[in-house]
Amino acid sequence: MNKELIKIIAMDLDGTLTQHKQPIDEVHRKALIKLSSKYKLLMVGAGQVMRIFNQMEHFPIDIIGNYGLQYGTYNENTKSMDIVRDLQFPIDKDSIEERVTNLREKFGYTDYAGDNVEFHPSGCITFPLLGTKANSEDKLSFDPDRVKRRKIYDEVVSAFSEYTVFVGGSSSFDMAPMPYNKYYALDIYCKENDLKHENIVYIGDDYGLGGNDESVYISDFPYLTIDDYRDFPEIIKPLW
């Protein structure tokens, strides 16, 4: 990372700035405000732009959502988001259901609560190993180290070759239509804003196998790893 070339600080939210689905605390808000005095900030998320914006309690930041399928810019006048891109891809639900069922039967995940698959308007899908209505305690205790899901990750990738597959949440696989992932989203952002990859440094926690930050981590974008969101103020010190 050449600090003199950095113009944009891009980052993940959950696990990087906050605990999962929690608002930003005052310490991290102050860190972002300080960063914004020197760099433009960009949130790169797996979820929808407005969900991320609301979780951040309307912090003034541009947001890439749904792995690049959505993009919103902060409007200083209205103090809200202007959605400038919102792509939606068709889903062959019957084919998805069949492939998920085959994987459940192959690996023994046939006992589940709720629906077999969760379909999202964007064209993204979630394969919840415990089902869409599993209780939170069961989900949190199911695979905290991701060993169970990483054991079958290659099989899921093979079964869904038209999707980018992520080891998502605590008990699921999340999938985005190819070629969308965070690297692809950042590459589009660079092309749209006349930037080079070396002009953006990315901060993320989910950089292991199947993680939704992995595509950026293994790329040529400068990357700062973080394993505990509470370390964020320390992690960003090299940027000053």
pLDDT tens for each residue of the chain, 240 residues long = 898 999 999 999 999 999 888 999 999 999 999 999 999 999 999 999 999 999 999 999 999 999 999 999 999 999 999 999 999 999 999 999 999 999 999 999 999 999 999 999 999 999 999 999 999 899 999 999 999 999 999 999 999 999 999 998 889 999 999 999 999 999 999 999 999 999 999 999 999 999 999 999 999 999 999 999 999 999 999 998
Residues 6+ apart with CB under 8 A from 217: 204, 207, 211, 223, 225
Helix or strand or coil: residue 214?
A: helix
The topology (CATH level 3) of 3-87+180-239 is Rossmann fold (3.40.50)
The structure's pTM equals 0.93
Give the pLDDT of residue 169. Answer: 84
Give the Cα separation of 233 and 153 in Å (integer).
33
Long-range contacts of 39-42 (CB under 8 A, 24+ apart): 39/6, 39/7, 39/8, 39/9, 39/239, 40/7, 40/8, 40/9, 41/8, 41/9, 41/10, 41/11, 42/8, 42/9, 42/10, 42/11, 42/189, 42/200
**What tokens does 61 get?**
């930041």
The pLDDT value recorded for residue 187 is: 98
∠ Cα 40 43 46 (to 5°): 160
DSSP bridge partners of 170: none
Output the pLDDT for position 56: 96
Strands 163-168, 172-177: pairing kind: antiparallel
CB-based burial label for 192 (10 Å; 0-12, 13-18, 19+): exposed
Task: Write out 180-199 in H/E/C secondary structure.
Answer: CCHHHHHHHHHHHCCCCHHH
- Give me the pLDDT at residue 45, please: 95
Q: Are 180 and 122 in contact (CB under 8 A)?
A: no
SS3 content of the chain, % helix, strand, coil (to 5): 35, 20, 40
Q: Where are the domains of the chain?
A: 3-87+180-239, 93-177
Would you say the CATH fold of 93-177 matches that of 3-87+180-239? no
- Please report the pLDDT score of residue 104 as a whole number: 98
CATH code for the part of the protein at 93-177 = 3.30.1240.20
Tell me what pLDDT residue 122 has: 95
Q: Which two tokens stand for residue 53?
A: 């914006």
What is the chain's alpha carbon radius of gyration, rounded to the nearest angstrom?
18
Residue pair 12/206 in contact by the 8 Å Cβ criterion: yes
